[in-house]
Structure 1
Amino acid sequence: MITQYKKQTLAVLATALLFASCVTKKYQQPGLAVQGKLYRDTTVTDSTTIAALPYSQLFSDTVLRSLINEGIKQNLDLKTAVQRINEAQATLGESNAAFFPSLSVAPQVTRVKQSRAALNFPAEFVGAFPLSTTTYQIGLNMSWEADIWGKLSSAKRAALASLLQSDAARRAVQTQLIANIANNYYNLLALDQQLRITEQTLKNRIADVETMKALKESAVVTGAAVVQSEANRYAAEVTIPDLKRSIRETENALSILLARSPGSINRSTLEAQMPYSDLKTGVPSQLLKNRPDVQQAEFAFRASFENTNLARTYFYPSLTLTAQGGVSSLHIKNLFDHSIFYNIVGGLTQPIFNKGQNKARLRIAKAQQEEAYYAFQQSLLTAGGEVSNALYAYQTAIEKQGSRVNQLKALQKSVEFTKELLRYSSATNYTDVLTSEQALLAAQLSSVNDKLQELQSIVNLYRALGGGWQ
């Protein structure tokens, strides 16, 4: 009889497992739905990528490396991301605990007093029975739900995906933090360089004013040239306060990234920077492995996929086992003396009419899964676009620097020649000098921006490829 019962039980469990495999689906990583290349105008087959480099190898400036180290340790956004990981770990632990039975202890004392009139005993029995009783009880309550349809397993996998999503989010914050620190640092160096150029230009133009005054006394130029030289001097001088303001604001922005109070930032110079030149992008499929935000989007899709599985299980019956046991007595001294009680109940709960909640839950889960899928596809396209933009920005910066050198040489000669002509020839006037000097200053400042574009495009390419968290 017992053997027959075991066979029936095994048959029921096997049937349940067979149906369970039809209820929930197995997750598969989605690929790129959009046709075409992620990297524009590239045919990369080499899997080597700068994303695999530690930032200490990408950046040669020891001061910058020190600032990045400080930022990773102190940045508040990064600390917040770590706490979100702790939250997700606790949620996963809660999902794991759902597989085990719940157990609680319930000590209880019950005092009952009945009315003599309510008992309606004959007069001869009055006093034979106590009207007040006290019951002492210590019980254990246990409840366990069998994971027949994969409800608990799907919830656990969703929690695990959320944990991995939180970890990917932390790594995404770190890669962005490194890029922000480096870009602000390079911007600070560029502003320093532009300030030095402008201050030197101001000194030169102050000297030009004195020269124009001397030439006017010699009747070589008119008073208009003197006034124009003074205006030219003030045109350079008025830009210095704005440069200093930009420097201070950039220092403050860097301080915030480092979780410091606003203050000055120790730094080197723009000329001392040695940009990393071996810029290998690897193949586009590596973005799935290297870009934390792409991984974050995929884990979000994975969590929504498991939530859809979870929503499906609500349409099927749940098997719950409950048990209660303990000791009970009217006298506390006899509590553990032959006073054991227990009961075990097993039951199936099949939803029939649930106010449309199960259908609505499934529709919501499917819609959220589709949203997460589109967000994942969008993250891949965005990543490919950022790689292409950063790479092209680097290429154009290099091209501009070659032409800029020639432009600066020509403008420097133009300034020198027009000044000489102004001294010894009436074929020119100070307007020619003014035009050439203004063009030279603009080209010098643009040259600094060219160098800044090169440095920042390397940083942006590194981040776009997913570097900085390894």
Structure 2
Amino acid sequence: MNKHIITKSLAAAFIVLAAWGCKITEPTSRAERTGTPESYNGSQDTTNVTEVKWSEFFSDPNLRALIDTALANNQELNMMLQEINVSNNEIKARKGEYLPFVNIQAGAGMDKVGRYTRYGALEANNEIKPGEEFPEPYTDLMVGAYASWELDVWKKLRNAKKVAVFNYLSTVEGKNFMVTQLVAEIANSYFELMALDNQLSILNQNIGIQKDALEIVKLQKQAAKVSELAVKRFEAEVAKNQSLIYNIHQQITEAENRINFLVGRFPQPVARNSSSFEQMTPQLIKAGIPSQLLANRPDIRQAELELEAAKLDVKVAKANFYPSFRITAGLGYNAFNAEFLFNSPQSMLYSLAGDLMAPLINRNAIKANYASANSKQMQAVINYEQSILNGYIEVANQLSKINNLEKSYDLKSQQVSALTESISISNSLFRSARADYMEVLLTQRDALESRMELIETKMDQMRAMVNVYQALGGGWTRPE
């Protein structure tokens, strides 16, 4: 009869606690994911340049060697790899939480009770034969195994483990995104270095031309055809361009050291062949369709995984409102004398218990955690939408830049060709006194600026090629 009453009471308590735990106000959710436009420029061609590995995308062997070294030695990337290990260990820790915990425990103690205490009086007032009374002082020896197991009825622990899995995968995608950035940054710095080498060469060539012009002006001055002013103007122009050489040298040093830092080594010269820079042509970029960004860009994949983890975090926080069930058990030996410690069954002890517990009053902390989990889920949704939007805009900008730079480079090439021819024309006219020295000076200056700008445009073209490759999600190594 008593067992029947106890069973009914426990069942009633469970129903009350479960019902109380389920009284949760569901927040408003907008889990709608942002769609992407159907195409970038009306094309439905799904061929995507990200299918090409970075080792095939970049043909320069020196650049490939730099990238390969950076992927092995870059400190920031190596720190991210350790972060992946931490996330992987978190999965193991979460998995262990919903398995039984078993501990081995051993202990020894000593206790001396007073004659006029409860236990001392009980022993004295009962006739206990000599040798059977408690020893004085009383020793207590124990050895055994104890287990506890929280029943994961509401999947709180299993969902927490899934959260750890998503966080781990998110960290992996974070590493992949870092790889795309690292590859792009090294390539951009490498092309900048080649451009600076070419600008330095052009500057030295121009200085040679200006020195020749300066000698002509000096001869003209001796012949009283020009004044000392013309000589000084040409000398000033030569000195100005000579000073620019040191500025370019400094930029080269900084570009080399930027690359050295990225590849994880101390300053040293960067191997390169800059003579072919002006003949380099950016690769034809196949952008595919925007929906491919969802699979190709690591930062979008990372945001998606963070969103999945945030959804499960809400479920974990919600499960805290529900009753928790725990089973505890113990098995071992307990005696007051080591001689009797392992006597069975006299010294054997065991226990088995179960408990049910749920929050009843003052649940503010649980409610606050639940509200925070929902807010973080909304943040993850917005971050995911923003990642898609940012990815699409980056690709659209770089594709437009490639197109505009191609047209700009063609026109600048025509400008350079015209101004290069005008140098010899102005020199001839100056020798025959049909043009003054300022026309020669300005022509040389314009020709130098145009050639320098042409090199910068070529560098921008190569960078745009790299940047669109990165924006599309290329550069990280996909599993075979």
Task: After superposition, give the CA deviation of every residue in 1:418-470 in whole Å (9 maximum; x if it has no partner).
Answer: 21111113x42111111111110000001101110111111001100000112
**Structure 2 gaps, min length 5:** 1-7
Q: Does 1:436 align with 2:470?
A: no
**1:59–1:276: 8 Å Cα contact kept in structure 2?**
no
Shift of 1:270: 5.4
In 2: Cα distance, 1:219 partner to 1:122 partner: 138
Q: Report the residue type matching 2:263 in the other structure.
A: L
The match for 2:216 is 211
Q: CA, structure 1 residues 340+373, in 2 after alignment: closer, same or farther (shift >3 Å)?
A: same
Q: Does 1:168 align with 2:167?
A: no
Q: 3-state SS of the aligned residue for 1:322? A: strand
In 2: Cα distance, 1:74 partner to 1:257 partner: 8
Shift of 1:263: 2.1
In 1: Cα distance, 2:228 partner to 2:167 partner: 76
Paired residues, number: 452
The match for 1:4 is none
Shift of 1:110: 2.0
The match for 2:201 is 196
The match for 1:360 is 368
The match for 1:155 is 160
How is 1:47-58 mapped onto 2 (pairs within 5 angstroms)?
A: 47-58=46-57
TM (normalized to structure 2)? Answer: 0.88
In 2: Cα distance, 1:450 partner to 1:263 partner: 28
**1:58–1:276: 8 Å Cα contact kept in structure 2?**
no
- Larger mean Cα displacement after TM superposition, 413-422 or 74-83: 413-422
Task: After superposition, give the CA deviation of every residue in 1:105-150 in whole Å (9 maximum; x if it has no partner).
Answer: 1111121111234335779979964432212211211110111111
The match for 1:383 is 391
**1:168–1:295: 8 Å Cα contact kept in structure 2?**
yes
Q: Report the residue type matching 2:45 in the other structure.
A: D
**2:328–2:354: 8 Å Cα contact kept in structure 1?**
yes
Q: 3-state SS of the aligned residue for 2:322? A: coil
**2:22–2:322: 8 Å Cα contact kept in structure 1?**
no
Task: After superposition, give the CA deviation of every residue in 1:160-186 in whole Å (9 maximum; x if it has no partner).
Answer: 110001100111111100001100000
The match for 2:34 is 33
Task: After superposition, give the CA deviation of every residue in 1:371-393 in whole Å (9 maximum; x if it has no partner).
Answer: 11111111111111111111112
How is 1:239-278 mapped onto 2 (pairs within 5 angstroms)?
A: 239-269=244-274, 271-272=276-277, 274-278=280-284
The match for 1:445 is 452
**1:137–1:329: 8 Å Cα contact kept in structure 2?**
yes
Aligned-residue sequence identity (percent) comes to 29
1:141 pairs, out of 117, 134, 146, with 146
Task: After superposition, give the CA deviation of every residue in 1:329-375 in whole Å (9 maximum; x if it has no partner).
Answer: 22212222112111111121111124401110111000111111111
Shift of 1:236: 1.1
Q: Does 1:416 align with 2:424?
A: yes
Q: CA, structure 1 residues 462+22, in 2 after alignment: closer, same or farther (shift >3 Å)?
A: farther
Q: CA, structure 1 residues 194+383, in 2 after alignment: closer, same or farther (shift >3 Å)?
A: same
Q: Report the residue type matching 2:37 in the other structure.
A: K
In 2: Cα distance, 1:22 partner to 1:144 partner: 26
Q: Report the residue type matching 2:403 in the other structure.
A: Q
**1:158–1:303: 8 Å Cα contact kept in structure 2?**
yes
Q: CA, structure 1 residues 161+29, in 2 after alignment: closer, same or farther (shift >3 Å)?
A: farther
In 1: Cα distance, 2:73 partner to 2:194 partner: 23
Q: Does 1:61 align with 2:60?
A: yes
Q: Report the residue type matching 1:43 in the other structure.
A: G
How is 1:8-27 mapped onto 2 (pairs within 5 angstroms)?
A: none
Q: CA, structure 1 residues 157+284, in 2 after alignment: closer, same or farther (shift >3 Å)?
A: same
Q: Report the residue type matching 2:222 in the other structure.
A: E
Shift of 1:44: 3.0
Shift of 1:319: 1.0
Q: Does 1:459 align with 2:466?
A: yes
Shift of 1:298: 1.3
Q: CA, structure 1 residues 468+90, in 2 after alignment: closer, same or farther (shift >3 Å)?
A: same
**2:217–2:226: 8 Å Cα contact kept in structure 1?**
yes
In 1: Cα distance, 2:307 partner to 2:125 partner: 78
Q: Report the residue type matching 1:57 in the other structure.
A: E
**1:184–1:254: 8 Å Cα contact kept in structure 2?**
yes
Shift of 1:82: 0.5
Q: Does 1:91 align with 2:113?
A: no
The match for 2:5 is none
In 1: Cα distance, 2:51 partner to 2:185 partner: 19
In 2: Cα distance, 1:464 partner to 1:45 partner: 18
In 1: Cα distance, 2:361 partner to 2:188 partner: 59
**2:210–2:444: 8 Å Cα contact kept in structure 1?**
no
Task: After superposition, give the CA deviation of every residue in 1:45-88 in whole Å (9 maximum; x if it has no partner).
Answer: 12211111111111110110011100101111110110000000
**1:39–1:385: 8 Å Cα contact kept in structure 2?**
no
**1:32–1:380: 8 Å Cα contact kept in structure 2?**
no
1:291 pairs, out of 281, 297, 321, with 297
In 1: Cα distance, 2:58 partner to 2:124 partner: 101
**2:429–2:435: 8 Å Cα contact kept in structure 1?**
yes
Shift of 1:38: 8.0
In 2: Cα distance, 1:271 partner to 1:453 partner: 16
Shift of 1:21: 12
1:328 pairs, out of 323, 334, 337, with 334
In 1: Cα distance, 2:239 partner to 2:312 partner: 67
In 1: Cα distance, 2:378 partner to 2:308 partner: 11
In 1: Cα distance, 2:105 partner to 2:158 partner: 30
Q: Does 1:309 align with 2:308?
A: no
**2:141–2:335: 8 Å Cα contact kept in structure 1?**
yes
In 2: Cα distance, 1:283 partner to 1:30 partner: 24
- Larger mean Cα displacement after TM superposition, 118-127 or 177-186: 118-127
In 2: Cα distance, 1:207 partner to 1:436 partner: 14
Q: 3-state SS of the aligned residue for 2:276? A: coil
Q: 3-state SS of the aligned residue for 1:115? A: coil
Q: 3-state SS of the aligned residue for 1:278? A: coil
Shift of 1:258: 0.5
Q: CA, structure 1 residues 220+124, in 2 after alignment: closer, same or farther (shift >3 Å)?
A: closer
TM (normalized to structure 1)? Answer: 0.90
Q: Report the residue type matching 1:191 in the other structure.
A: L
**2:325–2:354: 8 Å Cα contact kept in structure 1?**
yes
Task: After superposition, give the CA deviation of every residue in 1:391-428 in whole Å (9 maximum; x if it has no partner).
Answer: 11211221112111211111112222221111113x42
In 1: Cα distance, 2:429 partner to 2:381 partner: 70
Shift of 1:216: 1.5
User: What is the RMSD computed on CA atoms of the aligned residues?
Assistant: 2.8
**2:74–2:264: 8 Å Cα contact kept in structure 1?**
yes
Task: After superposition, give the CA deviation of every residue in 1:301-322 in whole Å (9 maximum; x if it has no partner).
Answer: 1111111110100111011111
Q: CA, structure 1 residues 44+166, in 2 after alignment: closer, same or farther (shift >3 Å)?
A: same
**2:297–2:471: 8 Å Cα contact kept in structure 1?**
yes
In 1: Cα distance, 2:225 partner to 2:298 partner: 68
Q: Report the residue type matching 1:380 in the other structure.
A: I
